[in-house]
Amino acid sequence: MDPVRNPYAPGAGQRPPELAGRDRELQQFEVVLERVARGRPERSMVVTGLRGVGKTVLLNTFKSMAMQRLWGTGKIEARPDQSIRRPVAAALHMAIRELAPRHRAPERIEEFLGVLKAFAMRDPAAAKGTSHWSPGIEVPASRGRADSGDLEIDLTELFVDAAGVATDLAVGIALFIDEMQDVPAADVSALCAACHELSQTGGPLIVVGAGLPHLPSVLSASKSYSERLFRYARIDKLDRDAADLALILPAREEDVEFTPDALDALYEAADGYPYFVQAYGKVAWDLAPRSPITLDDVKVSAPEAEEELAVGFFGSRYERATPAERDYMHAMAQIGDEPVATAEVADALGRKPSSLSPARDSLIKKGLIYSAERGLIAFTVPHFGKFLRAQPV
Ligand SMILES: Nc1ncnc2c1ncn2[C@@H]1O[C@H](COP(=O)(O)OP(=O)(O)OP(=O)(O)O)[C@@H](O)[C@H]1O
Ligand SMILES: [Mg+2]
């Protein structure tokens, strides 16, 4: 059928035509926004889940919800080995720019921008005395606030001031952090401390995160009270009804239907994983001659969808691994699809567990595997074991 009208959207962070099966999380976030705006004590949210399960899309939806309530919003994507100081400064700059036109006292905004600039310029990575960061802040950097060089102190002061500007307007500020497991350890600790401080003063600023399933343990390793700061929402594959809706509703908009056995086959292939739902749906649409999309259409299109996933979803990640890391993952895949013991992987490779730690650690850092619980590891990418077993070694 006409590829131009194809509604499905496989791709990282691509907004799906229908955000299926996430009503509970949306409702929870609605409550968070409402409570924070009213100055009620409230924990912020952190969304976790495997690759391609829809974390970025959900975070973006939360951002839209906050904007709809006229909140100031900003978003960063954390990177390993990169301090969050500059990205957070840029994100809060965006948030304040959203609020500024409605603020009655321009000097309050200027005052905050001066603090923000001082905060950003304290980046130790920048050469001394220079300001590489040209954020378009015209006001001079202020002194003596959020510029100590200690990220914990500086973030706390910056957040409190930003929250103050939002309070003037009776709204809030939401800072979104995607790939939060990649925030460097020292920065995680500073971030939690700043959120903790803020939650005690009731300032209307929240940090909303998204990351891989081990993110809660990254946070609690850093600050034991992190469990009381964040409400964790683990998102997973879609159940049958939600996966069907993700396919049916966008098609219906274009007067296209699926036969029931086509939906059976699509669910079997995609296993409810949002990325796969979009990928199989997209190819089935393109190859089907007419509505309804039938079981035969799905069968004919499945190899092409798998081919595209092998290149775009699995292959692009596999390529990031070194030969030693690939051996490690192949050994994991041979053992099975459940979380596996690191000792068992070492056994399978005929090596000492300690000699494999570098490979394991760098795979974790690359976000390809995660430590499910002590001594156990698993793939972050759904169906990755199956993909690896089909690869020539
Ligand atoms: N609730 C949903 N219903 C239907 N499709 C969805 C849903 N959530 C996400 N998708 C689709 O799944 C794909 C992956 O979404 P997204 O990039 O948000 O995943 P992610 O969890 O952030 O993955 P990664 O860990 O790789 O960053 C996109 O193509 C998106 O359109
Ligand atoms: Mg993402």
**pLDDT attached to residue 374:** 86
Distance from the CA of 51 to the center of ligand 2, in angstroms? 7
What DSSP line would sit under 3-19, residue for residue?
GGG-----STTPPPSS-
pLDDT at 108: 95
Q: How far is the CA of 52 from the centre of ligand 1 (A)?
A: 5
- What confidence tens digit (pLDDT) does each residue in 175-227 have? 999 999 999 999 999 999 999 999 888 899 999 999 999 999 999 999 888 88
The pLDDT score that the predictor gives to residue 123 is 82
Fold classification of 22-234 (topology level): Rossmann fold (3.40.50)
* Percent with pLDDT over 70 in the chain: 97
Q: Give the tens place of pLDDT for each residue, 335-358.
A: 999 999 999 999 999 999 999 999
pLDDT average, residue stretch 235-261: 98
The answer to whether residue 134 scores a pLDDT higher than 70 is no
pLDDT the model gives residue 128? 52
Residue 135 has pLDDT above 80, yes or no: no
pLDDT of res. 136: 77
Which atom of ligand 1 lies at the shortest distance from residue 179's CA? 27
Give the domain ranges of the chain: 22-234, 238-317, 321-390
Ligand at minimal distance from the CA of 75 is 2
| DSSP state letter for 293 | B
13 C-alpha to ligand 2 centroid (Å) = 6
Q: How many CB atoms lie within 10 A of CB 111?
A: 17
142: CA distance to ligand 1 center in Å? Answer: 41
Per the model's pLDDT, the better-predicted residue between 130 and 260 turns out to be: 260
Average pLDDT over residues 133-139: 74
Q: Which two tokens stand for residue 176?
A: 């979104």
On whether the pTM is more than 0.85, the answer is: yes
What DSSP letter does each residue of 243-281 carry, written as one string?
HHHHHHHHHHHTT--B-HHHHHHHHHHHTT-HHHHHHHH
User: Is 22-234's fold the same as 238-317's?
Assistant: no
Domain at 321-390: CATH code:
1.10.10.10
Confidence tier at 124 by pLDDT (50, 70, 90): confident
Under CATH, which number does the domain 238-317 receive? Answer: 1.10.8
Tokens of 214: 């081990």
Among 57, 214, 309, the mutation site with the greatest number of ligand 1 atoms within 8 A of its Cβ is 57
Q: How many CA atoms lie within 13 A of 330 on its CB side?
A: 13
Nearest CA residue ID for atom 29, ligand 1: 10
Q: What is the pLDDT of residue 160?
A: 96
Q: Looking at ligand 1, which residue's alpha carbon is closest to its atom 26?
A: 51
Q: How many other β-carbons are positioned within 10 Å of the β-carbon of residue 81? A: 7
- Ligand 1 pocket (Cβ < 6 Å) reads 9-14, 16, 19-22, 49, 51-57, 246, 274-275, 277-278
Atom of ligand 1 nearest to the CA of 60: 18
Indicate the DSSP class of residue 379.
E
266 C-alpha vs ligand 2 centroid, how far in Å?
Answer: 23
Q: Compute, in angstroms, the gap from residue 309 CA to the centroid of ligand 1.
A: 14
In angstroms, what is the span from residue 53 Cα to ligand 2's centroid? 8
More confident residue, 122 or 173: 173
Render pLDDT for 23-82 as a digit per residue (tens, 0 to 9): 999 999 999 999 998 888 888 899 999 999 999 999 999 999 999 999 999 999 999 989
What residue owns the CA closest to ligand 1's atom 25?
51
The answer to whether residues 115 and 158 touch, using CB atoms and an 8 Å cutoff, is yes
| Best CA proximity match to 275, nearest among 61, 3, 10, 7 | 10
In the block, residue with structure tokens 């998102």: 235
Return the ligand number nearest the Cα of 316. 1
